[in-house]
Structure 1
Amino acid sequence: MMKIGHFALCVIGAGTVARLVLDHQHQRRQLALSAANMHQRLAADAAAHPEWYADNPTIGELSELGRARALHTNRVIALIAAKHRAKLVTTDELHFNLVTLAQDPAARLYWEHASGYRTIEAESGDRIDRRFNRALTDAFKATAKRQAE
């Protein structure tokens, strides 16, 4: 029979492990939000200086207006991804946001040019990145299919 002291130590140990797991998850969310903030600032710099991206292999062939719209779409996608990672949106809200985004012609143009890069980036990430990228790809594919019908 387990003594009360052993039981108390087990409970304390389990609580400590649970707290460490929660702290780790919180830290990862904070890092993701910090990275999203840096990404938004870089995209703002790019929007303010379109000449910097004129030779960019992903969006360089677009017109200046096309590059501006592509950067805006990139910022929207980064915001939705950050909200998804921080669990600030439900699955239904995520789906709605991505389908709405995929219906925008500028977003579809961005996706034609940048989906390969986003796929590579997501595959090198974790399961949350891969899940988000799959949902994003599915939204664009579903929109393309509806428009083709």
Structure 2
Amino acid sequence: MAEETNIGNSEEKRNHSFTRKSIEKVAEQFVAQLRKLAVYLQHRSELLSRRTKLVLLGLFLLVGSGCSLYLILNSLAGKYQLSITSVKHFPFINKTMAEVNRNIIVVTKRDYLAVQNFRKYLDSIKFSPGGKIEYEKIIHERAGLLDSMDEIEHIYKQQQKETSR
């Protein structure tokens, strides 16, 4: 596409990219720490004998089963009264990702025309004698491309309907 889809004004874009970058950085640090922990635990467990590992596994199963049994028996005994409280409902919780994106993504006329031109290009090579192979290669390498194009066109048409009201 010639132009990125707009998320809003430029300040919102900057905040969105900053937030995304900071989240990705935190996630990378978390994964790095998990890898260090995994290497450490792997090294420590290599030092344990088979018998020690079996004893630790048995203890883990015993404690886990005991906790589960305790919770089951307490719930059946009726010592605790169950109460239901209302939880704040987020507007996007029951929507698909496509429906959420429709509310966030702004598709410009330029984006829409770029999609239309690319669709015409795909149609022209699809029906040309030597282009069928090229068309199939593009579709195979970019799975979901046609669906994304349909979604962009749909979002643009929805925006046009909303602005014409």
**TM-score using structure 1 length:** 0.29
Greater share of helix = 1
Computing the radius of gyration from Cα coordinates, the structure with the larger value is: 2
**TM-score using structure 2 length:** 0.26
